[in-house]
Amino acid sequence: MMLTLRGLEGFCPTYRRLLWRHLRKFSSGAQKEQYDLIVIGGGSGGLACGKEAADLGKTVAVLDFVKPTPIGTKWDIGGTCVNVGCIPKKLMHQAALLGHSIHDARKFGWNIPGDITNNWEELSHAVQMHVRSLNWGHKVQLNERKVKYYNAYGSFVDANTVRGTKKNGDKIYLQSDNIVIAVGGRPRYPNFPGAREHCITSDDLFWKKKPPGKTLVVGGSYVGLECAGFLHGLGFDTTLLIRSIPLRGFDQQMAKLVTDNMTDCGMNIQYGMIPTHVEKLTDNTLKVELQSVDGTKTITNNFDTVLLATGRDPLTSELNLSSAGIETDNMGKVIVNEEEKTTASGVYAIGDVAENRPELTPVAIKSGKLLARRLFLNSKELMHYDVIPTTVFTPLEYSTVGLSEENAIAQYGEENLEIYHAFYKPLEYTIPERDSSQCYIKVITERYNEQKILGIHLIGPNAGEVMQGFAVAMRCGATYQQLSSVVGIHPTCAEELVKIHITKRSGLDPTVTGC
């Protein structure tokens, strides 16, 4: 029998809803657990949303399930950031930076004997141990809040019912008036022979027990650049393949400086080439056929590892979204409004799986928390998806908040902008005689009135640490006058931002000299 709310007309609305819930629970043979909130996906966004709702006294169930990669890598609760994203990536970036620092240390008088080499087995083991401690921490936090955690794959039965499938095939049925989709995404494999069989992605790299050796990294976006950056920094022979432009969507002047720096550090970057065939040889090395994008040139080269960083797909195809009336865009991302509502009443989507959202952990977390407060605390606060700072953790970090120069010109017109810029030399680069050619800052402002700041860009050591505070200022609507009225902290790289005064329009040399 198909049970509908309409079938209970005649009862008062409150009683009708209670009765409906009660009848639904027993209407299909399987027992259905009732919750105030069901979250599908225990990553950055889903966990934040679920924990916040539980802190507000609500009953919450979280389903999280990781399907292994084609070569069998799998991990535990916490999602992309914890297991195969931000956390292991930043730790490996730090390991690579330490290698540089040890070289510098000699110039600063430290007596460091012998060759400096990194032990991949030790590094990856340490990283994996830390990740496991975070997995454990998430489980403890859910337990403390009495959030019911299911290691089960969720899919929709209808807009109020989720079916969870456990590893052994057992099914559970959960019901709620509030369901949050927070399933994130996974790496996309290009369609050439050998891609799935012989190549790895960022989902495998951090869990790799053996050193990657001579590595080909495919993809010019930040995942590709960051992985290539730390692999090269750890001492692996690394080639980076960029099909068209680096860091699409980011300010292209900054992107070029980032890749120039990588080339200056000795990395081999090849532009306009794509892999077309990967074959495993008897000695376990990979024979890779590379072709120019225009198809005129083909070369082959052998590598120990091929890492694909060619984009990510949202994990929506197996959620049975149509049964609940939830619509997606042509990339499979869930269509949402500013309240994170999907096209189905009572169903929401947050994080990487939602359309038009910056794919960043703090974005997923904040939108999850705010959603829980709107659902269960009568809050009206919406997530702001503009002025979101982010950092590309390449060997020389690039951090940014606000508009790129290209987008500022498109939105405001070049004649209405003032662009301040400066090349600078970090003090810590002087004694080790490090090249600072790519240490550069750019502040984009309105040209007239109070000169509201529209975008800040910084390439240099610890750029991410520097940018966070400037992002607060931008969020508060800071102007150029306010920026330049601030006294710097000397001697730092951050002070160069408050001292910035040379405009691109002036044509003056933007090289900072002396204090």
Q: Which of 70, 311, 325, 332 binds ligand NA7 (CB under 6 A)?
A: 311
Span near ligand NA7 by CB under 6 A; candidates 50-58, 220-228, 448-456, 472-480: 220-228
Residue 220 interacts with ligand NA7 (CB under 6 A)? yes
Residue 312 interacts with ligand NA7 (CB under 6 A)? yes
Least Cα distance to 173 among 65, 33, 62 occurs for: 33
Least Cα distance to 248 among 296, 308, 311 occurs for: 311
CB 206 within 8 A of CB 89: yes
What does the block give as tokens for 324?
């609940």
Residue 157 interacts with ligand FAD (CB under 6 A)? no
Q: From CA 438, how far away is CA 461, in angstroms rounded? A: 11
Residue 310 interacts with ligand FAD (CB under 6 A)? no
Q: Which amino acid is at 389?
A: P
Residue 250 interacts with ligand NA7 (CB under 6 A)? no
CB 370 within 8 A of CB 379: yes
**Phi then psi for 469, rounded to 5 degrees?**
-65, -40
Q: What residues between 86 and 115 interact with ligand FAD by CB under 6 A?
A: 86, 89
Q: Which of residues 51 and 312 has its CB atom nearest to ligand NA7 in the complex?
A: 312
Min dist. Cβ of residue 359 to ligand NA7 (A): 3
Specify burial of residue 405 (Cβ count, 10 A radius: 0-12, 13-18, 19+). buried
190 binding partner (options ligand FAD, ligand NA7, none; Cβ < 5 to 8 Å by kind): ligand NA7
Q: Which of residues 61 and 205 has its CB atom nearest to ligand NA7 in the complex?
A: 205
Q: Which of 204, 359, 397, 496 binds ligand NA7 (CB under 6 A)?
A: 359
Does residue 125 have an active-site annotation?
A: no
Residue 153 interacts with ligand FAD (CB under 6 A)? yes
What does the block give as tokens for 66?
């990781």
**Phi then psi for 345, rounded to 5 degrees?**
-60, 135
Q: Which of 204, 340, 359, 496 binds ligand FAD (CB under 6 A)?
A: 359
Residue 389 interacts with ligand NA7 (CB under 6 A)? no
Q: From CA 500, how far away is CA 487, in angstroms rounded? A: 12
Q: From CA 218, how far away is CA 306, in angstroms rounded? A: 8
65 binding partner (options ligand NA7, ligand FAD, none; Cβ < 5 to 8 Å by kind): ligand FAD
CB 429 within 8 A of CB 493: no
Q: Does an H or E element contain 95, and which?
A: helix 86-107
Q: Which of residues 124 and 310 has its CB atom nearest to ligand NA7 in the complex?
A: 310
Span near ligand NA7 by CB under 6 A; candidates 144-152, 309-317, 338-346, 469-477: 309-317
Q: Which of residues 206 and 222 has its CB atom nearest to ligand NA7 in the complex?
A: 222
243 binding partner (options ligand NA7, ligand FAD, none; Cβ < 5 to 8 Å by kind): ligand NA7
CB 145 within 8 A of CB 372: no
Min dist. Cβ of residue 493 to ligand NA7 (A): 25
Q: What residues between 175 and 194 interact with ligand NA7 by CB under 6 A?
A: 190
Q: Which of 182, 334, 370, 478 binds ligand FAD (CB under 6 A)?
A: 182
Q: Which amino acid is at 33?
A: E
CB 326 within 8 A of CB 158: no
CA-CA distances (angstroms) from residue 406 to 67, 209, 455?
39, 42, 11
Specify burial of residue 144 (Cβ count, 10 A radius: 0-12, 13-18, 19+). exposed
% helix, strand, coil for the chain, step of 5: 35, 25, 40
Q: What residues between 20 and 49 interact with ligand FAD by CB under 6 A?
A: 40-46
326 binding partner (options ligand NA7, ligand FAD, none; Cβ < 5 to 8 Å by kind): none
Q: Which residues bind ligand NA7 (CB under 6 A)?
A: 190, 218-224, 243-244, 248, 274, 309-312, 359-360
As annotated, the active-site residues are 490
Q: Which residues bind ligand FAD (CB under 6 A)?
A: 40-46, 63-66, 79-81, 85-86, 89, 153-154, 182-184, 202, 223, 315, 319, 351-353, 359-362, 364
